[in-house]
Structure 1
């Protein structure tokens, strides 16, 4: 919680718009304090805009289990020791602020791929879930608030929580969290 007893609020009118800046008594702004605490002073939207090139959604329409294995994808129904190491490496990369990418590919009972990708750029984790290749149409997500159905979901998150029972990403732009 912010301690406002040691801060001053400055209000400036610029072209009829009020600009609020909360400043510490030592003269630094809260944005600078947040930057010093390891947080970016950019807004979430600016961080998203500046994310950079995405490595996601680069698999062909007809993606096979063999191709997934060749590409180093994680196959959740049969995780190999090499795949487990790749998962741990991604978690470590996020922890240390090093850019990384990981793809999970599961296959429907008909052999159609459902792809979940995570790309970390050093600040944000870009999340993409894609079931557009599922010909059966059984793997469609639904927004619980609006009832809208979709086969691609994208979001940006700030934190990976390494919960031993169920790791997840959180502090997301569009949703609370996603399973990792």
Structure 2
């Protein structure tokens, strides 16, 4: 005996429930719209470049009655207007696009391709592979996170000698000398 699959609930546009469900889906709460409009105005005000005032009060100025107007005219000459920037979300009351750059995020960006990779695509392919337990099997996770060198607990690790550390540099110099002899 075959078991019938349950049918998906469909809404008929001729019923009242259809429009009620549609309203709930679109969430047209005026309080939320007012709150979003306020947040958008604050973001616009925060991100709009301000005029630069280069006027230094008191420098090369006289004081007394009637001189405030002349002072104000001189002040206007020393104001550098901010460039007008057209916002991508202007005219769209339901959209807010922030232009501010997150400096904390920029600190974690890779500035150059690390050594073993030749192209950005190679590096991105390796980075895109998750290594956590949630994405891989336990054995693969252990293999990917296994340290290159393991030492038994309590074992003494002697410091590296200078000659061993400089061995690579010596080998490079020796190879250069061999090439000169050829």
Name which one, 1 or 2, has greater alpha-carbon Rg: 2
Quick check: which one's strand share is greater?
1
TM-score of the two chains, using structure 2 as the length reference: 0.18
Quick check: which one's helix share is greater?
2
TM-score of the two chains, using structure 1 as the length reference: 0.18
